Amino acid sequence: MFGFSKKQPTPSRRRNSDDSLNDRNKPSDGSMDQRYAFRRNRTLTGSSSSQIHTVNDMGADLKSPRIKAHELVYKRRRIGAVLLGVLLASAMLVVAITQFTAQVTVASSRDASLHLDDSYEDLIDNYFSKYPVERFRFFLDEEKLLAYLQSQAPEIFHIKQDTTFGLGETSFLVGVRKPVVAWRINGQQRFVDTNGVSFAKNYFSLPAVQIIDKSGIEVNDGQAIASNRFLGFIGRSIGALSSHGLNVQNVEIPNRTTRQIKLKIKGVEYPIIMSVDRGAGEQAEDAARAVAWMKSRNIKPSYIDVRVSRRAFYRI
Protein backbone atom coordinates (compact mmCIF):
# COMPACT_ATOMS: atom_id res chain seq x y z
CA MET A 1 0.00 0.00 0.00
CA PHE A 2 1.03 3.44 -0.75
CA GLY A 3 0.86 5.94 1.93
CA PHE A 4 -0.73 9.35 1.41
CA SER A 5 1.08 12.28 2.77
CA LYS A 6 -0.64 15.37 3.94
CA LYS A 7 -0.55 18.44 1.64
CA GLN A 8 1.96 20.91 2.78
CA PRO A 9 0.47 24.34 3.66
CA THR A 10 1.35 27.26 1.46
CA PRO A 11 3.69 29.68 3.03
CA SER A 12 2.08 32.88 4.24
CA ARG A 13 4.47 35.06 2.26
CA ARG A 14 3.51 33.37 -0.99
CA ARG A 15 -0.19 33.49 -0.16
CA ASN A 16 -0.02 37.19 0.50
CA SER A 17 1.74 37.86 -2.79
CA ASP A 18 -0.89 35.85 -4.71
CA ASP A 19 -3.75 37.80 -3.07
CA SER A 20 -2.17 41.11 -3.97
CA LEU A 21 -1.72 39.95 -7.55
CA ASN A 22 -5.38 38.98 -7.81
CA ASP A 23 -6.44 42.36 -6.41
CA ARG A 24 -4.37 44.15 -9.04
CA ASN A 25 -5.82 42.11 -11.88
CA LYS A 26 -9.46 42.58 -10.67
CA PRO A 27 -11.06 45.60 -12.40
CA SER A 28 -12.33 48.44 -10.17
CA ASP A 29 -15.88 49.84 -10.14
CA GLY A 30 -14.77 52.98 -11.95
CA SER A 31 -13.12 51.06 -14.77
CA MET A 32 -16.24 48.91 -15.08
CA ASP A 33 -18.42 52.02 -15.48
CA GLN A 34 -16.13 53.34 -18.19
CA ARG A 35 -15.96 50.00 -19.97
CA TYR A 36 -19.73 49.53 -20.12
CA ALA A 37 -20.73 53.17 -20.45
CA PHE A 38 -22.30 52.66 -23.89
CA ARG A 39 -24.50 49.87 -22.62
CA ARG A 40 -26.39 51.79 -19.94
CA ASN A 41 -29.41 53.47 -21.50
CA ARG A 42 -27.27 55.47 -23.87
CA THR A 43 -27.81 56.22 -27.53
CA LEU A 44 -24.77 55.99 -29.74
CA THR A 45 -23.96 58.97 -31.91
CA GLY A 46 -21.31 59.50 -34.46
CA SER A 47 -19.33 62.39 -35.77
CA SER A 48 -16.49 63.15 -38.08
CA SER A 49 -15.28 65.80 -35.64
CA SER A 50 -12.56 65.15 -33.10
CA GLN A 51 -14.15 67.67 -30.66
CA ILE A 52 -16.99 65.39 -29.49
CA HIS A 53 -16.25 64.37 -25.91
CA THR A 54 -19.45 62.68 -24.78
CA VAL A 55 -21.99 60.45 -26.39
CA ASN A 56 -24.80 62.92 -25.54
CA ASP A 57 -23.19 65.90 -27.25
CA MET A 58 -25.83 67.64 -29.38
CA GLY A 59 -23.11 68.87 -31.72
CA ALA A 60 -22.57 65.48 -33.22
CA ASP A 61 -22.86 65.25 -36.99
CA LEU A 62 -24.49 61.87 -36.97
CA LYS A 63 -27.52 62.22 -34.69
CA SER A 64 -29.93 59.54 -33.67
CA PRO A 65 -33.70 59.97 -34.22
CA ARG A 66 -34.12 60.48 -30.49
CA ILE A 67 -31.78 63.47 -30.36
CA LYS A 68 -33.36 64.92 -33.48
CA ALA A 69 -36.80 64.62 -31.87
CA HIS A 70 -35.53 66.40 -28.76
CA GLU A 71 -34.10 69.22 -30.86
CA LEU A 72 -37.39 69.64 -32.73
CA VAL A 73 -39.33 69.82 -29.47
CA TYR A 74 -36.94 72.47 -28.15
CA LYS A 75 -37.23 74.52 -31.34
CA ARG A 76 -41.02 74.27 -31.33
CA ARG A 77 -41.16 75.47 -27.75
CA ARG A 78 -38.87 78.39 -28.48
CA ILE A 79 -40.84 79.43 -31.58
CA GLY A 80 -44.12 79.01 -29.68
CA ALA A 81 -42.88 81.24 -26.86
CA VAL A 82 -41.86 83.93 -29.36
CA LEU A 83 -45.22 83.75 -31.15
CA LEU A 84 -47.09 83.91 -27.85
CA GLY A 85 -45.13 87.02 -26.84
CA VAL A 86 -45.88 88.65 -30.20
CA LEU A 87 -49.59 87.83 -29.88
CA LEU A 88 -49.77 89.21 -26.35
CA ALA A 89 -48.00 92.41 -27.35
CA SER A 90 -50.32 92.81 -30.36
CA ALA A 91 -53.40 92.23 -28.22
CA MET A 92 -52.25 94.83 -25.69
CA LEU A 93 -51.59 97.31 -28.49
CA VAL A 94 -55.04 96.73 -30.02
CA VAL A 95 -56.73 97.18 -26.63
CA ALA A 96 -54.77 100.38 -25.98
CA ILE A 97 -55.77 101.81 -29.37
CA THR A 98 -59.44 100.90 -29.10
CA GLN A 99 -59.71 102.12 -25.50
CA PHE A 100 -57.97 105.45 -26.13
CA THR A 101 -60.07 108.62 -26.35
CA ALA A 102 -58.70 110.93 -29.00
CA GLN A 103 -61.98 112.59 -29.94
CA VAL A 104 -65.05 113.34 -27.82
CA THR A 105 -68.70 113.48 -28.87
CA VAL A 106 -71.62 114.40 -26.64
CA ALA A 107 -75.26 113.31 -26.83
CA SER A 108 -78.25 113.72 -24.54
CA SER A 109 -79.14 110.78 -22.33
CA ARG A 110 -82.69 112.08 -21.77
CA ASP A 111 -83.77 112.82 -25.34
CA ALA A 112 -81.82 111.81 -28.45
CA SER A 113 -83.36 114.69 -30.43
CA LEU A 114 -82.09 117.23 -27.91
CA HIS A 115 -79.04 119.06 -29.30
CA LEU A 116 -76.57 119.93 -26.56
CA ASP A 117 -74.05 122.72 -26.57
CA ASP A 118 -70.72 121.87 -28.25
CA SER A 119 -68.90 123.55 -25.38
CA TYR A 120 -69.35 120.34 -23.35
CA GLU A 121 -66.92 118.57 -25.68
CA ASP A 122 -64.35 121.27 -25.02
CA LEU A 123 -64.88 120.92 -21.26
CA ILE A 124 -64.25 117.16 -21.46
CA ASP A 125 -61.13 117.75 -23.56
CA ASN A 126 -59.89 120.20 -20.96
CA TYR A 127 -60.47 117.58 -18.29
CA PHE A 128 -58.43 115.04 -20.27
CA SER A 129 -55.68 117.62 -20.65
CA LYS A 130 -55.42 117.78 -16.86
CA TYR A 131 -55.67 114.00 -16.45
CA PRO A 132 -54.23 112.46 -19.64
CA VAL A 133 -54.14 108.93 -18.22
CA GLU A 134 -57.94 108.95 -18.05
CA ARG A 135 -58.12 109.14 -21.83
CA PHE A 136 -58.01 105.36 -21.60
CA ARG A 137 -61.62 104.36 -20.97
CA PHE A 138 -60.78 101.82 -18.29
CA PHE A 139 -58.98 104.52 -16.25
CA LEU A 140 -61.75 107.14 -16.46
CA ASP A 141 -63.20 108.31 -13.13
CA GLU A 142 -66.74 109.36 -14.07
CA GLU A 143 -67.51 110.84 -10.66
CA LYS A 144 -64.49 113.14 -10.83
CA LEU A 145 -65.35 114.07 -14.42
CA LEU A 146 -68.94 114.89 -13.39
CA ALA A 147 -67.73 117.08 -10.52
CA TYR A 148 -65.44 118.97 -12.91
CA LEU A 149 -68.21 119.51 -15.47
CA GLN A 150 -70.72 120.64 -12.85
CA SER A 151 -68.25 123.26 -11.61
CA GLN A 152 -68.28 124.74 -15.13
CA ALA A 153 -71.80 123.80 -16.30
CA PRO A 154 -74.19 123.27 -13.35
CA GLU A 155 -77.04 122.25 -15.67
CA ILE A 156 -75.35 118.85 -16.07
CA PHE A 157 -76.48 116.30 -13.49
CA HIS A 158 -75.26 113.04 -15.07
CA ILE A 159 -72.62 111.80 -17.51
CA LYS A 160 -71.74 108.30 -18.69
CA GLN A 161 -69.63 106.74 -21.40
CA ASP A 162 -71.65 105.32 -24.26
CA THR A 163 -71.24 101.57 -24.77
CA THR A 164 -70.89 102.05 -28.54
CA PHE A 165 -67.76 103.88 -29.63
CA GLY A 166 -65.47 104.11 -32.62
CA LEU A 167 -61.73 103.78 -33.01
CA GLY A 168 -60.21 106.60 -30.97
CA GLU A 169 -63.63 108.22 -30.47
CA THR A 170 -65.69 108.13 -27.29
CA SER A 171 -69.29 109.26 -27.02
CA PHE A 172 -70.59 110.56 -23.70
CA LEU A 173 -74.24 110.55 -22.69
CA VAL A 174 -74.94 113.76 -20.81
CA GLY A 175 -78.02 114.33 -18.70
CA VAL A 176 -79.13 117.94 -18.28
CA ARG A 177 -81.43 119.26 -15.58
CA LYS A 178 -85.10 119.87 -16.34
CA PRO A 179 -86.47 122.94 -14.55
CA VAL A 180 -89.66 122.84 -12.54
CA VAL A 181 -89.76 126.58 -11.95
CA ALA A 182 -88.11 129.64 -13.40
CA TRP A 183 -86.39 131.65 -10.69
CA ARG A 184 -85.58 135.34 -11.11
CA ILE A 185 -82.85 136.49 -8.73
CA ASN A 186 -81.41 140.03 -8.72
CA GLY A 187 -82.78 140.66 -12.20
CA GLN A 188 -81.19 137.50 -13.65
CA GLN A 189 -83.08 134.48 -14.91
CA ARG A 190 -82.30 131.15 -13.25
CA PHE A 191 -83.94 127.77 -13.35
CA VAL A 192 -84.41 125.26 -10.56
CA ASP A 193 -84.81 121.51 -10.87
CA THR A 194 -86.49 119.10 -8.48
CA ASN A 195 -83.32 118.98 -6.33
CA GLY A 196 -83.41 122.75 -5.78
CA VAL A 197 -80.22 123.35 -7.79
CA SER A 198 -80.06 126.55 -9.83
CA PHE A 199 -78.65 126.82 -13.33
CA ALA A 200 -78.77 129.34 -16.17
CA LYS A 201 -78.88 127.21 -19.34
CA ASN A 202 -82.19 125.50 -20.09
CA TYR A 203 -82.81 123.03 -22.93
CA PHE A 204 -86.51 122.50 -22.24
CA SER A 205 -89.62 124.59 -22.48
CA LEU A 206 -90.06 127.36 -19.95
CA PRO A 207 -91.85 126.33 -16.76
CA ALA A 208 -95.39 127.59 -16.33
CA VAL A 209 -94.58 129.06 -12.92
CA GLN A 210 -91.99 131.74 -12.35
CA ILE A 211 -90.56 132.53 -8.93
CA ILE A 212 -89.54 136.10 -8.21
CA ASP A 213 -86.96 136.07 -5.44
CA LYS A 214 -86.87 139.28 -3.39
CA SER A 215 -85.30 137.72 -0.33
CA GLY A 216 -81.96 139.39 -1.05
CA ILE A 217 -79.98 136.15 -0.68
CA GLU A 218 -76.93 135.91 -2.94
CA VAL A 219 -76.97 132.74 -5.04
CA ASN A 220 -74.41 131.34 -7.47
CA ASP A 221 -74.90 128.86 -10.29
CA GLY A 222 -74.91 125.29 -9.07
CA GLN A 223 -75.85 126.29 -5.53
CA ALA A 224 -78.97 124.81 -3.96
CA ILE A 225 -81.20 127.84 -3.46
CA ALA A 226 -84.23 125.83 -2.40
CA SER A 227 -84.72 122.61 -0.52
CA ASN A 228 -86.84 119.75 -1.76
CA ARG A 229 -89.31 120.56 0.98
CA PHE A 230 -89.66 124.17 -0.20
CA LEU A 231 -90.05 123.22 -3.85
CA GLY A 232 -92.47 120.48 -2.93
CA PHE A 233 -94.53 122.96 -0.97
CA ILE A 234 -94.69 125.31 -3.95
CA GLY A 235 -95.77 122.47 -6.22
CA ARG A 236 -98.44 121.26 -3.79
CA SER A 237 -99.72 124.80 -3.30
CA ILE A 238 -100.05 125.36 -7.04
CA GLY A 239 -101.87 122.04 -7.46
CA ALA A 240 -104.18 122.61 -4.51
CA LEU A 241 -105.15 126.10 -5.67
CA SER A 242 -105.71 124.78 -9.18
CA SER A 243 -108.16 122.20 -7.81
CA HIS A 244 -110.22 125.12 -6.41
CA GLY A 245 -110.20 126.95 -9.76
CA LEU A 246 -107.33 129.31 -8.89
CA ASN A 247 -104.48 129.24 -11.43
CA VAL A 248 -101.12 130.52 -10.19
CA GLN A 249 -99.18 132.84 -12.51
CA ASN A 250 -96.07 133.45 -10.44
CA VAL A 251 -94.64 133.00 -6.97
CA GLU A 252 -92.82 135.73 -5.06
CA ILE A 253 -90.47 135.26 -2.10
CA PRO A 254 -90.77 138.39 0.10
CA ASN A 255 -87.80 140.33 1.40
CA ARG A 256 -85.83 138.92 4.35
CA THR A 257 -87.67 135.63 4.53
CA THR A 258 -87.45 132.18 3.02
CA ARG A 259 -90.38 130.56 4.83
CA GLN A 260 -93.31 132.23 3.16
CA ILE A 261 -94.44 132.96 -0.40
CA LYS A 262 -96.81 135.26 -2.24
CA LEU A 263 -98.81 133.65 -5.03
CA LYS A 264 -100.29 135.75 -7.85
CA ILE A 265 -103.56 134.20 -9.06
CA LYS A 266 -104.86 134.67 -12.59
CA GLY A 267 -107.89 137.01 -12.54
CA VAL A 268 -107.24 138.04 -8.92
CA GLU A 269 -105.71 141.48 -8.33
CA TYR A 270 -104.14 140.74 -4.95
CA PRO A 271 -101.63 138.10 -3.85
CA ILE A 272 -102.15 135.28 -1.38
CA ILE A 273 -99.57 134.82 1.37
CA MET A 274 -98.83 131.24 2.45
CA SER A 275 -96.30 129.67 4.84
CA VAL A 276 -94.22 126.54 4.40
CA ASP A 277 -94.86 125.66 8.06
CA ARG A 278 -98.52 124.85 7.39
CA GLY A 279 -100.09 122.31 5.05
CA ALA A 280 -100.46 123.49 1.47
CA GLY A 281 -103.90 121.90 1.02
CA GLU A 282 -105.35 123.57 4.12
CA GLN A 283 -104.02 126.99 3.13
CA ALA A 284 -105.30 126.58 -0.43
CA GLU A 285 -108.76 125.74 0.89
CA ASP A 286 -108.78 128.80 3.18
CA ALA A 287 -107.53 130.98 0.32
CA ALA A 288 -110.29 129.76 -2.02
CA ARG A 289 -112.99 130.57 0.54
CA ALA A 290 -111.44 134.00 1.23
CA VAL A 291 -111.27 134.88 -2.48
CA ALA A 292 -114.90 133.82 -2.96
CA TRP A 293 -115.94 135.90 0.06
CA MET A 294 -114.06 138.96 -1.25
CA LYS A 295 -115.74 138.65 -4.66
CA SER A 296 -119.19 138.30 -3.11
CA ARG A 297 -118.70 141.59 -1.27
CA ASN A 298 -116.73 143.30 -4.03
CA ILE A 299 -113.76 143.87 -1.74
CA LYS A 300 -110.34 144.37 -3.25
CA PRO A 301 -107.71 143.98 -0.52
CA SER A 302 -103.98 144.47 -0.97
CA TYR A 303 -103.36 140.84 0.06
CA ILE A 304 -104.88 137.80 1.80
CA ASP A 305 -102.88 136.02 4.50
CA VAL A 306 -103.83 132.38 5.24
CA ARG A 307 -100.79 131.39 7.31
CA VAL A 308 -102.89 130.94 10.46
CA SER A 309 -105.16 127.91 10.66
CA ARG A 310 -108.88 128.70 10.10
CA ARG A 311 -108.12 132.37 9.69
CA ALA A 312 -107.75 134.69 6.73
CA PHE A 313 -106.28 138.13 7.25
CA TYR A 314 -106.42 140.89 4.68
CA ARG A 315 -105.66 144.59 4.35
CA ILE A 316 -107.43 147.06 2.18
Helices 280-296 and 228-243 meet at what angle, rounded to 10? Answer: 40
- C-alpha pair distances (Å), 298 with each of 63, 70, 244: 124, 115, 19
186 has a pLDDT exceeding 50:
yes
pLDDT in tens, 261-275: 899 998 898 999 999
Tell me whether residue 250 is in a domain: yes
Compute the mean pLDDT over every residue in the chain, rounded to the nearest whole number: 78
Q: Are residues 188 and 283 in the same domain?
A: yes
Is 121 in the same domain as 160? Answer: yes
Domain region containing 245: 181-315
Query: Residue 255: inside a domain, yes or no?
Result: yes
- Would strands 260-265 and 271-275 be described as parallel, antiparallel, or unpaired? antiparallel
What is the predicted pLDDT for the residue at 207? 83
Q: Which of 176, 194, 215 corresponds to the end of one domain?
A: 176
Q: Which of 176, 195, 228 is the last residue of a domain?
A: 176
Q: Is the pLDDT of residue 305 over 70?
A: yes
Q: Are residues 164 and 227 in the same domain?
A: no
Q: Do residues 231 and 203 lie in contact, with contact meaning Cβ atoms separated by under 8 Å?
A: no
d(CA 61, CA 29): 32
Q: Is residue 260 part of a domain?
A: yes
Question: Is the domain of 156 the same as that of 245?
Answer: no
Q: Do residues 249 and 289 both lie within one domain? A: yes
| Confidence at residue 73, expressed as pLDDT on a 0 to 100 scale | 87
Closest by Cα among 175, 192, 264, 183 to 228: 192
| DSSP string covering 161-218 | E-S--BTTEEEEEEEE---SEEEEETTEEEEE-TT-BEES---SPPPS-EEEE-S---
> How many domains does the chain divide into?
2
Inside any domain, residue 10: no
Residue 216: which CATH number?
A: 3.40.50
* Residue 62 falls inside a structural domain: no
Higher pLDDT, 46 or 231: 231
Q: Are residues 124 and 168 in the same domain?
A: yes
Please tell me which of 127-136, 167-176, 194-203, 206-215 the model is most confident about, judged by mean pLDDT: 127-136
Q: How confident is the model at residue 17 (pLDDT cuts 50, 70, 90)?
A: low
Q: Is residue 270 part of a domain?
A: yes
CATH of residue 148: 3.10.20
Residue 60: HSE in the Cβ half-sphere, 13 Å Cα cutoff: 20
In a domain, 268, yes or no: yes
Give the H/E segment covering residue 98. helix 65-98
| Contact of 49 with 63, CB cutoff 8 Å | no
Residue 196 reports pLDDT greater than 80: no
> For 110, which DSSP code?
S
Residues 130 and 196 reside in one and the same domain = no
pLDDT exceeds 70 at position 218: no
- Residue 294 resides in a domain: yes
What confidence category does residue 11 fall into, taking pLDDT thresholds of 50, 70 and 90?
low
* 111-154 residue pLDDT tens: 777 888 889 999 999 999 999 888 888 888 999 999 999 989 98
- 276 and 168 in one domain? no
Q: Is the pLDDT of residue 63 over 90?
A: no
Cβ-contact 294, 300 below 8 angstroms: yes
Residues 187 and 310 in one domain: yes
How far is it, in rounded angstroms, from Cα 176 to Cα 116? 9
Same domain? For 128 and 209 the reply is: no
57 vs 244, more confident = 244
CB-CB contact of 151 with 84 (8 Å): no
Last residue of a domain, one of 176, 200, 221: 176
207 and 251 in a single domain? The answer is: yes
Least confident of 17-26, 92-101, 127-136, 246-255: 17-26
The pLDDT of residue 125 is: 92
Residues 233 and 268 in one domain: yes
